[in-house]
Amino acid sequence: MPSPLRIVVVIPCRDDAPMLEACLTALAAQIRPADAVIVVDNGSSDDSAAVARRHGAEVLTEPKVGVGPAVAAGYDRAIQDAGLVARLDADSRPHPDWLARIEAAFAGDERLDVLTGGAEFYDLARFWAYLGEHWYIGGGFVWIRIWLGVPLVFGSNFAMRSAVWERARTRVKRERGDIHDDLDLTIHLDPADCVRLDRTLRMPVSGRPFATLGGLSRRVWKVARTFAASWPDGAPRRAARPREAGWDADGEAELRTRDA
């Protein structure tokens, strides 16, 4: 039985060796180190796998292209050894206290099942960074919460207890590489899972998908595709979220209290 606070970090990667190098360097600088790091090589033609191994990460190979299949393979492996599974993307550059804050949050609340936070874009002009942080990611937290009764679990910055993935792994559309895997996971969480959004837990990520209006539009359409793929599981169900499970059903004031 893995320790409840043993943390394994999962990182999907496809042809992103320079970004992965920076991500793993930032992970190595954590004040609370990861207990293990799993990089899922998603059919890379560059030296992403070699970069991962040089940093001491375990490398899995997932030939089916898409973040969804890649992270599902990573989570399946991680829950064999971890009480907590944390998720980054190859372009993430976590602050040094990221894992320490995750550990403290779960250690301090045994009811907590999923912890997620926001984004900050390190390579965008101010205008595009604002749109990405506040309109796309920030808007996703708000609108998904209104629709589902729970904030979006942001794929570049979250952690979950292994039991959460045990429950969700057969529900998610793990074979779909053309949908948002994090939204799909959010849709397929158990109604009793306690999810907390901490807006101060911010993750530096690349703004490449938001660098153009076309890139932003494609990601928005991918949201619609994700809901279509999961229907009717993604139907509105706010009323079904029990307050005692931590879904913040009474509105924004309670949400701010939990986020503090």
Q: Return the structure tokens found at 43.
A: 């059919």
pLDDT band of 254, cuts 50, 70, 90: very low
Report the DSSP pairing between strands 158-161 and 114-121. antiparallel
Phi, psi dihedrals of residue 92, rounded to the nearest 5°: -80, 145
Cα torsion angle, 56, 169, 94, 214, sign: positive
Give the DSSP letter string of 59-97.
EEE--S-SHHHHHHHHHHHHTTT-SEEEE--TT----TT
What mean pLDDT do residues 169-194 have?
A: 94
Phi, psi for 106 (deg, rounded to 5): -75, -35
**Which residue carries 């399946």 as its tokens?**
76
4 pLDDT higher than 90:
no
Inform me whether the pLDDT recorded for 201 exceeds 70: yes
175, with CB counted inside 10 A (0-12, 13-18, 19+), is: exposed
pLDDT exceeding 90 applies to what percent of the chain? 65
pLDDT attached to residue 107: 95
* 34 DSSP 8-state letter: -
pLDDT classification of 213: cutoffs 50, 70, 90: low
Nearest to 119 by CA among 211, 204, 208: 204
Q: Please list, in sequence order, all residues whose beta carbon lies within 8 angstroms of the beta carbon of residue 132, skipping any fewer than 6 positions away.
A: 119, 121, 124, 207, 210, 216
SS3 call for 212: coil
Give the pLDDT band (50/70/90) at residue 143: confident
Q: How confident is the model at residue 258 (pLDDT cuts 50, 70, 90)?
A: very low
Peptide bond into 232 cis (omega under 30): yes
40 - beta bridge partners?
12, 60
Decide: 241 and 235 in contact? Cβ < 8 Å: no
Distance CA 176, CA 146 (A): 25
Per-residue pLDDT, 124: 76
Which uninterrupted H or E stretch holds 121?
strand 114-121
Which residues are CB-neighbours of 188 under 8 A, at least 6 positions away? 168, 171, 172, 230, 233
Distance CA 234, CA 186 (A): 9
Q: Across residues 92-105, what is the average pLDDT?
A: 97
| Fold exhibited by the domain 7-259 | Spore Coat Polysaccharide Biosynthesis Protein SpsA; Chain A (3.90.550)
One-letter amino acid of 183:
L
**Mean of the per-residue pLDDT values for the chain?**
86
Cα distances from 248 to residues 85, 110, 134, 157, in angstroms, run: 23, 17, 21, 20
**Whether the predicted pLDDT of 208 surpasses 80:** no
85 DSSP β-pair partners: 8, 160
